[in-house]
Structures are given as C-alpha cells and as structure tokens.
Amino acid sequence: MSWMSGKEGAAYAGYSRDWLEKRATPWSEIPVPYRVRYKWVRSAPDAKPVRRYWQADIDALFVVPKEQNLRELGPRFRRNPPE
C-alpha cells in the first residue's frame, strides 16, 4: 500500500477530489470506518506540507460487508422470535 495525493486518490476511486476530502480524517493508528486517513507530508524541509491519503483506506470504502444469516446471530436478534 502507498500514500496518494488528493488528485491520485480521487482518480483511483473514480470520484472527485471533493468526494475524497469529505471522507478524510487525520491520521490515527486505528482505521476509522468509512473514512480515509491522511497525513501532512513535506517532500523537502523547506517545502509546503501537502495531504497524502492512505490507499488501503480508499480500497476499504468499496468493500461490501458480508451479509449474515439471521440464524447465525441467534434467537435474540431474529426479527420474528419463535412462539
């Protein structure tokens, strides 16, 4: 995995840069569901910092959760409990 610029990340996801920035959250060690973590990075000591987005978080936005069978959840979570 790698870090991507806003333009690269948006093109990678197939959406606009605004779409990516609305889902951005500052970097933390623990992933945030439905958010893309970013860091401010400098390419040189005297350069302006720029945002870089974590590619794994962009990929995670498009993973569809596996559906669970209600029987697997147990009787407590069934919609219509048996009588």
In sequence order, what E strands does the chain have? 3-4, 24-26, 36-41, 50-54
Is this structure's pTM higher than 0.85?
no
In a domain, 13, yes or no: yes
In a domain, 77, yes or no: no
In a domain, 20, yes or no: yes
The CB density around residue 14, as the number of other CB atoms within 10 Å, is 8
Q: Provide the number of structural domains found in the chain.
A: 1
Residue 70 is predicted with a pLDDT of 58
In a domain, 79, yes or no: no
In a domain, 46, yes or no: yes
In a domain, 81, yes or no: no
Which of 55-82 are b and which e, b meaning 16 or more Cβ less than 10 Å from the residue's Cβ?
Answer: bebbeeeeeeeeeeeeeeeeeeeeeeee
| pLDDT, tens digit, 9 for 90 and up, residues 37-72 | 999 999 899 999 999 999 999 999 988 766 766 566
Q: Which domain holds residue 54?
A: 3-60
